[in-house]
Amino acid sequence: MNETLSVLMNHKSIRKFKEDEVSQQQLASIVAAAQMASSSSNVQAYSVIAVTEPGLKKQLAALAGGQAYVEQCPVFLVWCADLYRLKRVTEQHKPDQTSYEDSTENFIVATIDAALAAQNAAIAAESMGLGIVYIGGIRNNIAEVAELLGLPELVYPVFGMCVGVPDQEPGLRPRLPQAAVLHMNGYDPNQTMEQVKLYDETMSRYLSERTGGERTTPWSEIMAVRLTEPVRLHMKSFLEQKGFLKQ
Amino acid sequence: MNETLSVLMNHKSIRKFKEDEVSQQQLASIVAAAQMASSSSNVQAYSVIAVTEPGLKKQLAALAGGQAYVEQCPVFLVWCADLYRLKRVTEQHKPDQTSYEDSTENFIVATIDAALAAQNAAIAAESMGLGIVYIGGIRNNIAEVAELLGLPELVYPVFGMCVGVPDQEPGLRPRLPQAAVLHMNGYDPNQTMEQVKLYDETMSRYLSERTGGERTTPWSEIMAVRLTEPVRLHMKSFLEQKGFLKQ
């Protein structure tokens, strides 16, 4: 196994950070790595807001549902899908033409661009001994987050990411068996559902070990609870208000 | 710069591959690395179809708009957002409850999960000396691609990815200046638009050098052309038919 594979295979989300700073140079390297990710037709339809101001981090932590590590980490990155730049240059070059920044396709392109860049950033940070955790919680109060960060139309915060020096050493969380997610030459529904049963056993044991036998809920049941919760149903109207997903 | 940063900083999309195989072991390592990416609440809402059958690759190459390298590469990975697994376990555990697999939020979660996993796979492949290119073109005829791969409801192909041994050495493509995508403590529209002007000059020179002075179109103009093209406007209705994005 090469060094890079070792970094990839040892990812654990970090939720407790030391007080050490992330230096300007580290931040620049992390974002430079993010920028080298692939981008659909080179549109580079993403932006990242690095939040270092304590007051701002505190507000974001509250908006994300009271996640203390958002406030505690030295740098909180907010990864945004960004079609604003493209819209502006289109107005400059093609002022009289219809443009499609509101299409579902371009929404997907921008969301993917943000995600690919962010994952490169995560790997870069981890390769330097830093730890990260993705924060989907910033979508809990997404309108307030967007306002706080001054996001213009056609920019939405996809997720946040805490970055800092780890102050904990969590174990690796088992993933689904490979055969549950990898299909050869075509999707096999039975294969994936068979593998879920095996994963349920793995995760029951894992939970039990971590909680001294207190919790053993199988993964599939946790997922069923999650999918029956009305999570962030405001997303569609928020995105439409921001100019996305109209067609 | 550590070895992993070096892999990240040297990414180039590869569109010409040698005939060498990608071994089963390499594929297993690539997908194992993909699986270690973060996933929102551990939902792991993605799947990947590894296409190795020549006839199937040929059909996918045609559907992606005649991209020869889709046929030529030894393994073509189709990364899918997948809420089917979650829907099935929810039907098992909570048969009588309303579930939200059709929410915009869960569509975003699944799309991000697929993208983060894919980017880990890309880095893993590159760390092993393989080359990759993302293929958004599979969304050109997405319904046909989904049918060909037997994708059930609530699974959609986000993008493809050619993997193989590189048979070309393209140069690095310049990215936007870092100040165009990185904002400190809040979004600065003027900063990003100023930086676009600098990038236009960089990319004009880059294009000119690559085409012997034949093409010099600035990036912003290429983007304006792209945004005024009605690209893949079928995405919304396709996704709704597949059970996504209904609320």
Disruptive mutation site among B80, B83, B119, B159 for chain A (greatest number of A CBs within 10 Å): B119
Residue A32 is predicted with a pLDDT of 98
pLDDT for B227 equals 98
d(CA B99, CA A229): 7
Number of cross-chain residue pairs from A and B with Cβ atoms under 8 Å apart: 357
Angstrom distance (rounded) from CA B113 to CA B37: 8
Alpha carbon of residue B89 to chain centroid? 27
> How large is the average pLDDT for residues A161-168?
98
- pLDDT value for B46: 98
| pLDDT for res A240 | 98
Of B24, B25, B38, which Cα lies nearest the Cα of B114?
Answer: B38
Q: What is the mean pLDDT of residues A148-156?
A: 98
Which residue reads 């390769």 in tokens? Answer: A127
Query: In which residue ranges of chain B is pLDDT below 70?
Result: none
Q: Do A108 and B224 touch (CB under 8 A)?
A: no
pLDDT given for residue B238 in this prediction: 98
Q: How confident is the model at residue A176 (pLDDT cuts 50, 70, 90)?
A: very high
pTM: predicted TM-score of the whole model, two decimal places: 0.98
Tell me what the pLDDT averaged over chain A comes to: 98
Ramachandran angles phi, psi of A21, nearest 5°: -75, 160
Name every chain B residue with its beta carbon within 8 A of the beta carbon of A9: 32-33, 36
Name the residue among A52, A89, A227 with its Cβ closest to that of B101.
Answer: A227
Given B109, B150, B181, which is nearest A47 (Cβ)? B181
Contact B51, A187 (CB under 8 A): no
Rounded to the nearest 5°, which phi and psi values hold at A183? -115, 140
Contacts of B198 (CB under 8 A, 6+ apart): B177
Q: How far apart are CA A207 and CA A219, in angstroms?
A: 10
> Chain B: nearest CA to A24, how far in angstroms?
11
pLDDT tens for residues A131-147?
999 999 999 999 999 99
Residue B238 CA to residue B204 CA, distance in Å, equals 37
Residue B176: CB atoms within 10 Å = 23
**Per-residue DSSP letters for chain A?**
--HHHHHHHT------B-SPPPPHHHHHHHHHHHHTS--GGG---EEEEEE--HHHHHHHHHHTTS-HHHHHSSEEEEEEEE-HHHHHHHHHH-TTS---TTSHHHHHHHHHHHHHHHHHHHHHHHHTT-EEEEEGGGGTTHHHHHHHTT--TTEEEEEEEEEE-B---PPPPPPPPHHHHEEESS--HHHHHHHHHHHHHHHHHHHHHHTTTS----HHHHHHHHHTS-TTTTHHHHHHHTT----
Instruction: Identify the band that residue A119 occupies on the pLDDT scale cut at 50, 70 and 90.
Output: very high
Q: Kindly indicate the confidence band of residue A197, based on its pLDDT and cuts at 50, 70 and 90.
A: very high
Residue A130 in contact with residue A165, Cβ under 8 Å?
Answer: yes
Place of tokens 């059930």: B152
CB count in 10 Å sphere of residue A135: 27
Percentage of chain A modeled with pLDDT above 90: 100
Residue A192 banded pLDDT, cuts 50, 70, 90: very high
Q: Which of A124, A193, A225 sits opposite B88 (nearest CB)?
A: A193
ipTM: 0.98
**B positions 17-76 inside 8 Å of A (CB):** 28-29, 31-38, 40-44, 46-53, 56
pLDDT of residue A172: 95
Integer CA distances (angstroms), A18 to A69, A164, A168, in order: 10, 7, 9
Q: Could you give the CA distance from residue B161 to residue B178 in angstroms, rounded to a whole number? A: 26
